[in-house]
A = this chain, B = another copy of it.
Amino acid sequence: MDSLQFTAETSSNGVVERDFTVAGIPGVLWSPASASSSDRAPLVLMGHGGGTHKKWPAMPGRAHRIVNGCGFHVACIDAPGHGDRPRTAHDEQEIAALFRAREAGEPEGPVVVRYNAHLAERAVPEWQATLDALQELPQIGADGPVGYYGLNMATAIGVPLTAADPRITAAVFGLHWPDALAATARRITVPVQFHLQWDDEHIPREAGLALFDAFASEEKTLHANAGRHKEHPRFEADSAARFFARHLTRSLPVPALS
């Protein structure tokens, strides 16, 4: 197994941020500053969106809400071709295709769906190796609860990851097309919270609803907010944190139905 090396550590607002690498893949782990090294806590794997990276402001922002709100660990790695990682010639071609579509006023969906499906094939085994290594840490452990949180490109990666890895027992997804994902979503049965934008200019409303509909999960909740693609409200990061608190905290009972 590839082991995890910590390369840097900072701390702010009650959260310790540690950079790490696993098999050359750079990541970051956010943890409660107050926890001792023998305290175990659940882990949320968090993916970043297309064109951003593991420390894009939304990532530490969401991580701090989960670390401080739930006492959990949060880990994010750079996706292939993103952040501190090199781009392949294929990455460059697809990014150029996306920019051409944007400039021509053509739909982004076909390029994004195709390219994200390709990235997911590369990213799923990377996430699994990262999770293997994170579970070696005494504060996380091999049998602790694990969640996944990722929107946009991170949903394209997270849906096949969650379908493939039974260690992930709760997931927050959203803001993606069903084309390459619905068939895989039909194999997912863990609790899901799904975010979409009601007036998304890129993802047709029916497409977003179709992806939510595809999950086989007995417990799944759609949060649809008025607004365009990039207007996804910040309060939904708190919804995600509460969802993980409900599902990854073993001492809590399953929520009763009214």
Question: Do A217 and B221 contact each other (CB < 8 Å), given the known contacts A232-B257, A233-B257, A234-B255?
Answer: no
Tell me if B227 and A224 are in contact (CB < 8 A): no
CB-defined contacts of A258 to chain B, threshold 8 Å: 58, 61, 232-234, 237
**Which residues of chain B have C-beta atoms less than 8 A from A232's C-beta?**
257-258
Task: Flag whether A187 is at the interface (Cβ < 8 A).
Answer: no
Give A246 to B238 CA distance when docked, in angstroms. 12
Q: Chain B residues near A235 (CB, 8 Å)?
A: 246, 255
**Among B217, B223, B234, B238, which residue has its beta carbon within 8 angstroms of that of A226?**
B217
Say yes or no: is A219 at the interface (Cβ < 8 Å to chain B): yes
Q: Is A198 an interface residue (CB 8 A)?
A: yes
> Would you call B256 and A234 a contact (CB within 8 A)?
yes
Q: Is A40 an interface residue (CB 8 A)?
A: no
In angstroms, Cα B238 to Cα A231, docked, is: 24
Does A218 have its Cβ within 8 Å of any Cβ on chain B?
yes
A18 is an interface residue with CB less than 8 A from chain B? no
State the interface size on chain A (CB cutoff 8 A).
31
Q: Are A227 and B257 in contact (CB under 8 A)?
A: yes
Report if A225 contacts B (CB, 8 A): yes
A163 within 8 A of partner (CB) = no
User: A257's closest neighbor in chain B, by CB?
Assistant: B231
1/0 per position for A108-152, CB-CB distance to B under 8 A?
000000000000000000000000000000000000000000000
Q: Give the residues in chain B near A212, CB-CB below 8 Å.
A: 224
Q: Which B-chain residue is minimally distant from A216 (CB atoms)?
A: B226
Q: Is the CB of A226 within 8 A of B220?
A: yes
A223 close to B221 (CB less than 8 A): yes
Q: Min CB distance, A73 to chain B, in Å?
A: 22
Could you show 18 A-B contacts with beta carbons less than 8 Å apart? A198-B222, A212-B224, A217-B226, A218-B226, A219-B225, A220-B226, A221-B233, A222-B224, A224-B224, A227-B257, A232-B258, A233-B255, A233-B258, A234-B255, A234-B257, A235-B255, A237-B258, A238-B242
Which A-B residue pairs are the 7 nearest by beta carbons?
A: A222-B224, A234-B258, A220-B226, A235-B255, A221-B225, A231-B257, A234-B256
